[in-house]
Amino acid sequence: MILVTGATGNTGGEVLARLVELGAAVRALARNPEKAEVLAATGVDVVLGDMTDPVAMATALVGVERLFLMSPPHPEQLEMEGAVISAAEEADVSLIVKLSVLGAGPDSALELGRVHAAIEDRLARSGIPNTVLRPGSFMQNFFSYAPTIQADDTFFAAAGDGATAMVDSRDIAAVAAAVLSEKTHVGDVLAITGPEAVTYHEAADALSAATGRTIRYVDVPPEAAGEGMLAAGIPDWLVEDLLTIYSLQREGHLAEVAPTVKEVARVEPRTFAEFARDFAPVFSA
């Protein structure tokens, strides 16, 4: 049995779907009752509960041998994932595949990178065999630009002309599912990117071709981008990280391509143009 945390999100949901396709016995941990009902209606075994609830975690881990560990960015992410690791120790889980971030480390420029490094350290100290996945920027992050693209064929960001090797979350899921189902790459830290580095201007061209409209990318000053994110309700600490990511993009530090998707999942990683075609309705008015 494989337990998938974060199963109602983009990436966790894709991991769950991929494992089901492979015929694996899976269970999903869900915190939201409505989303849990939707998952259960598909025939997936679902446990409703929070990562930090020891009773819920003990229930979720009954009979579980392998675990996919992820949680959304959160001020208590270390405590949340640490609680799952502790529960996995008690349950004698034999493999944990953890979703981290590219460049995670104690000296990372990102708060998220430092938090994930602390979680990775906690996982290493648990003694549970594990594989760490470090994806770069997700193509699905472009969903946040959908409202302005729908409204006036424009999206705004502070990425300049820097190219980024964005990865489709479906390809991250393919890597995670391969490691979980085959128990390969145990002990490895795997960087995951798309097959090419793309600028936001090139992304706008791909979205234009996919939707049949002329979509523009407008580069905005970082200060203005930060104000916009704060006005949208994004917390201060996350805004700081997002602005740092934009800075890394502008300076060309996120353009390196890793072969992990093809080598581990044995599939061709999706290009941004493929992503744009697949999700064109999301960006259509």
Q: How far apart are CA 43 and CA 20, in angstroms?
A: 10
Tell me what the mean pLDDT of segment 85-108 comes to: 96
Output the pLDDT for position 43. Answer: 84
**What average pLDDT does this structure show over 119-126?**
97
Q: Quick one: tokens of 237?
A: 């600490």
Please give the mean pLDDT across all residues of the chain.
95
- Rounded to the nearest 5 degrees, what angle is found at the Cα of 4, between the Cα atoms of 3 and 10? 170
Can you list the domains of the chain with their CATH numbers? 2-128 (3.40.50.720)
* Mean pLDDT for the stretch of residues 157-178: 97
Q: What is the pLDDT of residues 147-162, one digit of tens each?
A: 999 999 999 999 999 9
List the single range of 34-43, 51-60, 174-183 with lowest mean pLDDT.
34-43
Per-residue pLDDT, 39 = 85
pLDDT of amino acid 33: 85
Q: How confident is the model at residue 173 (pLDDT cuts 50, 70, 90)?
A: very high
Taking residues 165-189, what's their average pLDDT? Answer: 96
Q: What integer pLDDT is reported at residue 154 of this predicted model?
A: 97
- Please state which of the ranges 103-107, 129-133, 229-233 shows the lowest mean pLDDT: 229-233
Average confidence (pLDDT) over 93-102: 97
pLDDT of residue 36: 85
Q: How does residue 47 score in pLDDT terms, banded at 50, 70 and 90?
A: very high
| Residue 177: other Cβ atoms inside 10 A | 27
Q: Is the pLDDT of residue 31 over 90?
A: no
Q: Tell me, what's the pLDDT at 207?
A: 98
Above 90 in pLDDT, residue 9?
Answer: no
- Check residue 123 and give its pLDDT: 98
pLDDT bin (cut points 50, 70, 90) of residue 213 is very high
Strands 189-192 and 154-157: unpaired
Burial 225-240 (b: 16+ CB within 10 A, else e): bbeebeeeebeeebbe
Angle at 37 between CA 281 and CA 42, to 5 degrees: 70
In the prediction, which pLDDT does 35 show?
Answer: 87
User: Mean pLDDT throughout 19-35?
Assistant: 91
Q: Is the pLDDT of residue 285 over 80?
A: no
Least confident of 106-115, 223-232, 259-268: 223-232
> H or E segment at 138?
none
